[in-house]
Amino acid sequence: MYRYISQHCIYPAYEMFTGRQFLQKWGAMEQSQWWDSETLKKYQLGKLKTLVNFAFEKNPYYRRQFKLLGLDPARIDGVEDFSKVPILTKDDIARNLPEFISAGYGQSDLRKFVTGGSTGRNLTFYMDRNTFDSATARVLRGMNWFNCGFGDKRVKIWGSPIRESLRERSCTQLRNFLLREKCISSYAMNEKTILEILRQIQRAKPKALIGYVSALTVLASFIEKHAIEEVRVDAILPAAETIFQEQISLFERSFHGKVFNRYGSREFNGIAQECSFHTGMHVNAETVYVEVIKNGRPARPGELGEIIITDLDNFGMPFIRYRIEDLGILSSKPCECGRGLPLLDRVEGRIYDLISCPNGSIQTGTFFSNLTRSVEGISQFQVIQESKGKIRLKLVTQNGFRQDSKDTLTSIIREHCGETMQIDFDFVTVIEPLKSGKHRYVVSLTHDEPLIADQA
């Protein structure tokens, strides 16, 4: 009953009060997800061509770039032509921000955001109202994929605003009350507060639990350590950080629910998400165009490459072929659910979070996750590359870790990375997250450019 009231009364009232228009978009996306893949590709191409033509006519930055490169938007007839559009970087935006605002858009038409990502580099950008509503529609559709409908309770473990006015805080609290979403700050998590946070989750009895991977890991580990059985949720949605298989298993054991992996960012919100078949993450293809490239060419299905994203709805500040600085793998397999949306097999992490080895190989966080999982007594790890031939391995250990465990780790790392790899060990009691509350498992201090993607 509350689902019906929420969908047909509360959400429409919220739209009216805020001046937003996301319900109609959500309804359209509920239909379009069942289109076949060819229909979706044609729809995407039509939106790509419209966006590029608009950018040439109305956006100062893109008009200048297209003229410098001699690109004629009218001659972009397919995705092969679209790949001629230059890749957009965070530095491009930071250096030219005023030029990215399209003609006809004022402050009242745009919403300002600032993101630092996991690299700590702040980026200011804007979304127009249409984009913001599309992002909300994507979230609503994704909720249905794990049977969390309008009005179903959700708990979110997230980074809270550092500075927020009384009006902003009041509006947020009203929104959360009406939409039945309880937000708990990930900054408040420590030994004294974890038990109370778990009690709040237990009292709320949410349909879904959403949170940073590292924050959920802390909660789930506490549950398992203390054999707590009362905290149960149907769906667990890890976000904002790379997730490894052992964390998925931990979450499902501890919260007695199912993990639905998803991929998003501050710039685009929901990019892709798993459905109940868990065969990969469905890309929200009606509103974002996702490429995976390697050495300047489209990566083959199953091949690791750099993720490039185009927002098909943001005309106020277009993001066309934006380097989001993540690595991923596309899948060519259709999902058994019957949706025509393309599948992103997985996201491997940040392009800067790669270990460059003396033997010429490149290792991602997955290698070190599997490695530390195979050695007993390691509860948390972080790898820091200080030079091409040297890494520092930070470890939080417990019972079961022995002196010869170091020798085992060293031997396996050198086997895969090169015999000359120097490995320093730091045994610590805790590995602190970034200021954002996120955790980086791999930190490379040796390069300023991606190791995989072509820089043209």
Instruction: Sketch the domain layout of the chain as residue ranges.
Output: 355-444
Chain segment 252-305, per-residue pLDDT in tens: 999 999 999 988 888 888 899 999 999 999 999 999 999 999 888 899 988 889
Query: Average per-residue pLDDT in the chain?
Result: 83
Chain segment 154-191, per-residue pLDDT in tens: 998 876 554 456 666 666 777 777 778 888 876 666 66
Q: What is the pLDDT of residue 116?
A: 55
Q: What is the pLDDT of residue 366?
A: 60
Q: What is the pLDDT of residue 418?
A: 85
Q: pLDDT at residue 205 above 80? A: yes
Q: What is the pLDDT of residue 276?
A: 92
d(CA 395, CA 372): 9
Give the residue among 437, 446, 440 at the shortest CA–CA distance from 184.
437
Lowest mean pLDDT among 125-134, 135-144, 217-226, 255-264: 217-226
Q: pLDDT at residue 44 above 90? A: yes
User: Cβ atoms within 10 A of the Cβ of 399, count?
Assistant: 7
* Amino acid making up residue 207: K
Q: What is the pLDDT of residue 453?
A: 42
> What value does the mean pLDDT take over residues 190-214?
85
Q: pLDDT at residue 101 above 90? A: yes
Pairing of strands 281-283, 362-363: unpaired
CATH code for residues 355-444: 3.30.300.30
Q: What is the pLDDT of residue 18?
A: 81
Q: pLDDT at residue 441 above 80? A: no
Backbone angles phi, psi at 200, to 5 degrees: -65, -40
pLDDT band at 448 (very low <50, low <70, confident <90, very high): very low
> What value does the mean pLDDT take over residues 389-400?
84
Give the residue among 260, 183, 190, 246 at the shortest CA–CA distance from 218.
190
Q: What is the pLDDT of residue 449?
A: 46
Q: What is the pLDDT of residue 122?
A: 62
Long-range contact pairs involving 188-194 (C-beta distance under 8 Å, separation at least 24): 189/157, 189/215, 189/218, 189/219, 194/218, 194/219, 194/222
Q: What is the pLDDT of residue 160?
A: 54
d(CA 410, CA 421): 9
The residue whose two tokens read 């490039």 is 308
Q: Are 126 and 110 in contact (CB under 8 A)?
A: yes
Q: Are 244 and 365 in contact (CB under 8 A)?
A: yes
